[in-house]
């Protein structure tokens, strides 16, 4: 594994690393070139909250794939524990786990990505890393061990990032279900006086909707 220095920042390339998973060895981010991926950690196998999250991620796996995105799980457990746990989920809960799970036995990936927090021992917190199709880290979420994540929110954030990239727009709170704008998107604020006037003129022509020159939005 390489690049085991400081944590990567948003907009930087995801650290190159070779990891052992339940689907064999993987090289990140190179093995996912041309695809987005969501790497999410869990504190430990055979734990209730983590099990509910794995079931939710598994049931939404096709929705992620529809967005050219693969899922990757991780904890500091051994690969044998991962295999037995995913078998248990399939047999007892009827949900196959279609994505690989990293066995970070030495905690090197967890340390690199800031998943080990003070007061929580050697277990990983619930971290989420969204990496784009060029290997760039685009979003990071951290949850404490006691609070399960919303897989729907991870999926929503992924969609928002991809829409923002494709259309060069910003997305409001809880898009596409924002209380103020609904599913409309925000046009980047005007950076010059001329552009500010142009925005208001565009609003008069019905090409944009604006509360003011700095707050304009539109339907995609």
Q: Which two tokens stand for residue 109?
A: 């990936």
Average pLDDT, integer, range 49-54: 95
Classify each residue of 169-205 as buried b or exposed e, where b means 16 or more C-beta atoms within 10 Å of its C-beta.
bebbeebbebeebeebbbbeebeeeeebeebeebbee
- DSSP states along 81-127: HHHHHHHHHHHHH-----S-EEE-TT-HHHHHTT---TTSTTS--EE
Q: What is the pTM of this model?
A: 0.92
Q: What residue numbers does the annotated binding site for substrate cover?
A: 126
Three-state DSSP class for residue 132:
coil
Q: Which one of the listed residues 19, 28, 38, 50 is annotated catalytic?
A: 50
Q: State yes or no: is 210 an active-site residue.
A: no
Quickly state the pLDDT bin for 123 (edges 50, 70, 90). confident
Domain 168-220 has CATH 3.30.1020.10: yes
Quickly state the pLDDT bin for 125 (edges 50, 70, 90). confident
The CATH class given to the 17-149 domain equals alpha beta
Three-state DSSP class for residue 215:
strand
Cβ-count burial of 81 within 10 angstroms (0-12 exposed, 13-18 middle, 19+ buried)?
A: middle
Q: Which two tokens stand for residue 22?
A: 């339940």
Q: Which two tokens stand for residue 67?
A: 């967005």
Instruction: Please determine, for residue 55, whether its predicted confidence score (pLDDT) is greater than 70.
Output: yes
Q: What residue numbers does the annotated binding site cover?
A: 126
pLDDT, tens digit (0-9, with 9 covering 90-100), for 95-120 = 999 999 999 988 889 888 988 777 66
Task: Give the domain ranges of the chain.
Answer: 17-149, 168-220
């Amino acid at each position: 594994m390489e690049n085991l220095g400081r944590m990567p920042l948003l907009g930087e390339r995801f650290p190159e690393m070779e990891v052992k998973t339940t689907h064999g060895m993987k090289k990140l981010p190179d093995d996912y070139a041309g695809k987005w991926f969501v790497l999410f950690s869990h504190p430990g196998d055979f734990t209730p909250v983590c099990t509910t999250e794995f079931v939710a991620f598994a049931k939404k796996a096709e929705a992620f794939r529809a967005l050219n995105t693969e899922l990757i799980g991780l904890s500091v457990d051994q690969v044998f524990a991962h295999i037995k746990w995913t078998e248990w989920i399939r047999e007892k809960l009827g949900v196959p786990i279609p994505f690989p799970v990293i066995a970070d036995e030495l905690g090197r990936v967890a340390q690199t990505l800031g998943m080990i927090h003070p007061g929580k021992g050697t277990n990983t917190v619930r971290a989420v890393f969204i990496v784009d199709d060029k290997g760039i880290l685009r979003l990071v979420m951290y949850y404490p061990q006691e609070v399960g994540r919303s897989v729907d929110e991870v999926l929503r954030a992924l969609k928002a990032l991809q829409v923002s990239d494709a259309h060069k727009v910003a997305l409001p709170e809880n898009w596409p279900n924002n209380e103020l704008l609904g599913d409309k998107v925000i046009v980047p604020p005007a950076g010059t006086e001329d552009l500010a006037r142009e925005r208001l003129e565009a609003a008069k022509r019905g090409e944009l909707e604006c509360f003011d020159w700095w707050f304009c939005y539109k339907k995609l």
